[in-house]
Structure 1
Amino acid sequence: MNYWLFKSEPDVFSWDDLVARGAAGEQWDGVRNYQARNNMRAMAVGDRGLFYHSNIGKEMVGIVEVCAEAHPDSTADDPKWECVDVRAVKPLSQPVSLDQAKTEPRLSDMVLVTNSRLSVQPVTEAEWAVIMDLSGTDD
Structure 2
Amino acid sequence: MNYWLMKSEPDVYSIADLKGDKISIWDGVRNYQARNFMRQMGSGDLVFFYHSNTKIPGIVGLARVIETGIADPTQFDVNSEYYDAKSQLDAPRWQTVRVEFVEEFAKLISLDELKAKFTADEILVVRKGNRLSVMPVSKSAAQKILTVR
> 2: distance between equivalents of 1:49 and 1:120?
9
Which residue of the other structure, out of 35, 38, 51, is the alignment partner of 1:37? 35
Following superposition, the deviation at residue 130 of structure 1 comes to 1.7
Displaced runs of 4+ in structure 1, greater than 4 A?
Answer: none
Partner of 1:3: 3
| TM-score between the two structures when normalised by the length of structure 1 | 0.89
The structure with the larger Rg is 2
The code of the aligned residue for 2:19 comes to V
Secondary structure at 1:4's aligned position in 2? strand
Following superposition, the deviation at residue 67 of structure 1 comes to 1.1
The code of the aligned residue for 2:49 comes to F
1:125 lines up with 2:124 in the alignment: no
C-alpha RMSD over aligned residues: 1.1
The code of the aligned residue for 1:8 comes to S
Partner of 1:63: 62
> 2: distance between equivalents of 1:67 and 1:129?
20
| TM-score between the two structures when normalised by the length of structure 2 | 0.84
- Give unpaired runs (5+ residues) of structure 2: 77-86
> 2: distance between equivalents of 1:129 and 1:46?
16
Identity within the alignment, %? 44
Partner of 1:49: 47
Following superposition, the deviation at residue 131 of structure 1 comes to 1.3
> 1: distance between equivalents of 2:113 and 2:3?
19
TM-superposition CA deviations, 1:88-123 (whole Å, max 9, x none):
10112321000111112xx11220111531100000
